[in-house]
Amino acid sequence: MQSRIAALPVYTKKDMAEENELRYDPAAIEPKWQQRWAADPKLYAAEPATCGKPKYYVLEMLPYPSGQLHMGHVRNYSIGDALARHMWMRGYNVLHPMGWDAFGLPAENAALKNNTPPREWTLSNIAAMKRQMERLGLGYDWATEVTTCLPEYYRWNQWFFLRMVEKGLAYRKKSKVNWCPECATVLANEQVVDGCCWRHEDTIVEQRDLVQWFFRITAYAQELLDGLDKLEGWPEKVRTMQRNWIGRSEGTEVDFFLAEEIGQGLGTRDQGLEKTRIRVFTTRVDTIFGATSVQLAPQHALVAAFTASDPDLNEKVAELLEQQKKAREAGDLGEIEKHGVPTGHFAINPYNGARVPIWVANYILADYGTGAIMSVPGHDERDFEFATKYGLPIVEVIRPVQKTEGAEHLPFVSEEGVLVNSGEFDGLSCTDAQKLLQEVAARSAFGEATVTYRLKDWGVSRQRYWGTPIPMIHCERDGLVQVPDDQLPVLLPEQIEITQQGGSPLGRVPAFVNVTCPKCGGPAKRETDTMDTFVDSSWYFYRYTDARNANAPFDSETVKYWFPIDQYIGGVEHAILHLIYSRFWTKVMRDLGLVVNDEPARRLFTQGMVIKDGHKMSKSKGNVVSPDDMVARYGADAARTYSLFAAPPDRDLDWKEDGVAGVSRFLARVWRLTTRYAPVARAGRGESHPFRSERGKDGAPADQSTGVSLRLLRKLHQTIAKITLDFEGRWHFNTCVAAIMELVNEIQGADAQLAAGEVAPPVVLELLRTLVLLLAPFAPHLVAELWEELGEGGSVLRAPWPASDPELAREDELEVPVQINGKLVTVVRVAADADAKTLEAAALADEKVQGRIAGKTVMKVIVVPRKLVNLVVK
């Protein structure tokens, strides 16, 4: 990064003199163009599907309206905007919208603090951020703006919710939930980070028993997992994070029988909770002959039955529970020091009738698998540790293939072995045994093969005000009743007192709560929970395609044209939350017949963070750089171009103000160069181009005398090729900007010849016109001004992206490195199309090479045409 800054053009006295003469003044140019753009709503508007152009949907993640853009936003939007502009110039019908993820807690906190209603606070923040975006010159189609806190949007959240209730995809149940005391609301599992709240990094999340609404995302667990394989345009790290989060594991559920109740009739199997069996989950059923105890989570239903008549045990279990709770709160459940207590009860292994003690242990989780495991100390590290500590037997049942006896190798956890001490299954490989044992369990009705997922259903109830009201009614006679579609939206009441004293603030608004039951007409009460704000962002990008539709969330035909999104751009911190939820939502909408695509976005790009002095920008670190400040000092074009130039977009960017200043000076050079020679360029319009119209027979340029022109055009067309290629895939915009800098250096280096009129006006026109086109995705204001200066009409966005002429871009000569025994000795200049023989001869004729090989034998010459010559010498 250091070297890139150093590579900036050097600022000379001559530059300074020129600058005074032709000053680049972004503060004058930029607002002027912003006004013109604002007066032309068609400029950035998407066209209807009938326009006949190929479509391109480029989208940056919508911001939360905090009231202030930060540099991370500027970077995110600069990447998207550059891409959108490039695609417009490539002739695409581009959809490039923007909106606001406008529900959420900060609005309520602000209301508590300043006594401003959340709606007012949010809308004024939106207005402020919109002004900032306009001041940055970002090319959004504001006609499609989406604001999620407005009834015209959230009514469709409610509509979707009702469809999901009808499909059994939204349901209500009592369960242990994550509770952030600071937020005074429930959090989804995805919003708990290392045991703490994602919004309050120091606040430990508590577990509470509450009746909550859930979305059945687990119904799509397998499809969400399988779909990742097809998302080749997504970063591998995001796909891996989602795979791990979904957490599929294959295994077996097996019933151990309770010793006391054997023979009294087994009843029906039911999630391992009945009084005669304990259902355990294991990924290694092949080791079941080595099970020497069964271990239960402290919350297991059976434990309650045991402790009811055993106060001593009850006390010990309470202790285990406390230990688990503490570890969970500290976020290090995996590291918990393992404790357990024997219950005094026994279970029977269904495969061999072995009687094993039942224990309760603090490291067994109620919400993983069945909340019960079999402990196999011979073949599991954790079980081994536990058995050693408490003196439980350790039995070998899997033996490495080469070994014949002895147990000193235990625990042996690999599946590369054969079964021993396992009765009729002895000698089987682990995988064969797993299959066979599963078959036996299924046949004998004491178990089955299962797949479990780490992914849990999405808890969407929030006990907060500033969110979408859940459109359900509680009637004493009818139970849960849906709000009829024609009564949507259920509006958020406007006048409301926000407090943080338990329960939803909506519950304290009688006018909201008390309703007439749509079914029986009797008095009933509205649901007072609101929806998680991740509901809003799960489908907002569909709404952009048809943002003013009052009869449906969107028109399916229009969505069919625009989806999937061609390029989605945002931060990697959304990998688990938003990016899983929105994939789920798309699949639900597909199954409702609203869309035909399986996935929302074909390609995803996650940009790096903007840091300063090695730290993430934050108020507490005092290292926040304000976009407004940068724009005021250097202009929007410089701030945007710098944010693309200073690092590859997928890496972190260390913000350096002298870097912005350097980019601003570079733009000033472009400005001076172009304005100075614009009259020559304009004169060149319509004149014949010496390297276009009068080619020699072999396709080579006819006029070989003007070496400067040719050199500049070569550089120009090489730059076009490079930038075009980058936009098509690599996105190394930093090297794109660097390439334009080199081009400008080269043109400036020919200033004497340009001034002397040695470069033909049509060539000057091509050079300057193309330079402006290449800069158009990065510095739109400067470019608009220069485009006009060159006498071009209309918007530069409607001008075709320049094509590289391979003939002109071709190098005449190349420098090829020569190595002797792998060490670089020299470089030789050869014709760019020199064959291996010519290259070898050139290398051997080189003075330095001759000096090194004198008196020695050249054993071998390796030639890679255009790249390398290596001599093997003895």
Q: Give residues in contact with Zn ion (CB under 5 A).
A: 180, 182-183, 197, 199-200, 475, 477-478, 517, 519-520
Residue among 338 and 474 whose Cβ is closer to Zn ion: 474
User: Measured between alpha carbons, how far is 417 from 399 in angstroms, rounded to an integer?
Assistant: 5
The alpha-helical segments, DSSP class H, found in 211-339 are 221-230, 236-246, 301-308, 311-330
CB of 182 to Zn ion, least distance (A): 4
Residue among 311 and 502 whose Cβ is closer to Zn ion: 502
Side-chain-facing half-sphere of 508: CA atoms under 13 Å:
14
CB of 474 to Zn ion, least distance (A): 9
The closest alpha carbon to 8, from 800, 798, 660, belongs to 660
CB of 244 to Zn ion, least distance (A): 24
Residue among 197 and 871 whose Cβ is closer to Zn ion: 197
User: Measured between alpha carbons, how far is 145 from 95 in angstroms, rounded to an integer?
Assistant: 12
For 784, the token pair is 């608009």
Residue among 166 and 557 whose Cβ is closer to Zn ion: 166
Q: How long is the chain?
A: 874
User: Measured between alpha carbons, how far is 738 from 729 in angstroms, rounded to an integer?
Assistant: 17
Question: Quick count: other Cβ atoms within 10 Å of Cβ 65?
Answer: 26
CB of 330 to Zn ion, least distance (A): 17
User: Measured between alpha carbons, how far is 81 from 781 in angstroms, rounded to an integer?
Assistant: 13
For 254, the token pair is 């097996």
User: Measured between alpha carbons, how far is 362 from 340 in angstroms, rounded to an integer?
Assistant: 6
Residue among 192 and 273 whose Cβ is closer to Zn ion: 192
CB of 618 to Zn ion, least distance (A): 17
Name the residue with tokens 């072999």.
Answer: 698
The alpha-helical segments, DSSP class H, found in 600-750 are 627-634, 636-645, 657-684, 707-725, 733-749
Side-chain-facing half-sphere of 39: CA atoms under 13 Å:
6
CB of 197 to Zn ion, least distance (A): 3
Q: Check if the beta carbon of residue 33 is closer than 8 Å to that of residue 781.
A: yes
Beta strand pairing call for 277-282 and 293-296? unpaired
Residue among 262 and 517 whose Cβ is closer to Zn ion: 517
User: Measured between alpha carbons, how far is 189 from 99 in angstroms, rounded to an integer?
Assistant: 26
CB of 189 to Zn ion, least distance (A): 14
CB of 467 to Zn ion, least distance (A): 14
CB of 129 to Zn ion, least distance (A): 23
CB of 102 to Zn ion, least distance (A): 19
CB of 515 to Zn ion, least distance (A): 10
Question: Quick count: other Cβ atoms within 10 Å of Cβ 772?
Answer: 24
Residue among 481 and 827 whose Cβ is closer to Zn ion: 481
Residue among 118 and 761 whose Cβ is closer to Zn ion: 118
Residue among 54 and 522 whose Cβ is closer to Zn ion: 522
**Please, what's the b/e burial string for 449-463 (b: 16 or more CB within 10 A of its CB; e: otherwise)?**
bbebbebbbbbbbbb
**Lateral strand order in the sheet of 868-873:** 823-831, 813-820, 868-873, 858-864
User: Measured between alpha carbons, how far is 872 from 874 in angstroms, rounded to an integer?
Assistant: 7
Residue among 187 and 366 whose Cβ is closer to Zn ion: 187
- 863-867: which pairs have CB atoms within 8 A and are 24 or more residues apart? 863/836, 863/839, 865/834, 865/835, 865/836, 865/839, 866/814, 866/816, 866/832, 867/816
Residue among 477 and 651 whose Cβ is closer to Zn ion: 477
Residue among 206 and 236 whose Cβ is closer to Zn ion: 206
Return the DSSP state at 147.
E
Positive or negative: CA dihedral 696, 699, 700, 703: positive
Cα 771 from chain centre: 33
Residue among 181 and 817 whose Cβ is closer to Zn ion: 181
CB of 498 to Zn ion, least distance (A): 16
User: Measured between alpha carbons, how far is 246 from 220 in angstroms, rounded to an integer?
Assistant: 10
Residue among 183 and 397 whose Cβ is closer to Zn ion: 183
CB of 314 to Zn ion, least distance (A): 33
CB of 374 to Zn ion, least distance (A): 38
CB of 748 to Zn ion, least distance (A): 55
CB proximity list for 23: less than 8 A, separation 6 or greater:
668
For 461, the token pair is 């109830």
Beta strand pairing call for 868-873 and 858-864? antiparallel
Residue among 192 and 219 whose Cβ is closer to Zn ion: 192
Cα 702 from chain centre: 52
Phi first, then psi: give them for residue 421, nearest 5 degrees: 50, 30
Name the residue with tokens 């900007």.
Answer: 737
User: Containing H/E element for 433?
Assistant: helix 430-443
Residue 135 CA: distances (Å) to CA of 46, 668, 737: 21, 19, 22
CB of 199 to Zn ion, least distance (A): 4
CB proximity list for 426: less than 8 A, separation 6 or greater:
418, 419, 420
User: Containing H/E element for 82?
Assistant: helix 71-89
Residue among 178 and 586 whose Cβ is closer to Zn ion: 178
CB of 206 to Zn ion, least distance (A): 11
* Packing angle, helices 780-789 and 26-38, rounded to 10: 90
CB of 108 to Zn ion, least distance (A): 12
Residue among 130 and 519 whose Cβ is closer to Zn ion: 519
Q: Check if the beta carbon of residue 649 is closer than 8 Å to that of residue 733.
A: yes
Q: Check if the beta carbon of residue 782 is closer than 8 Å to that of residue 796.
A: no
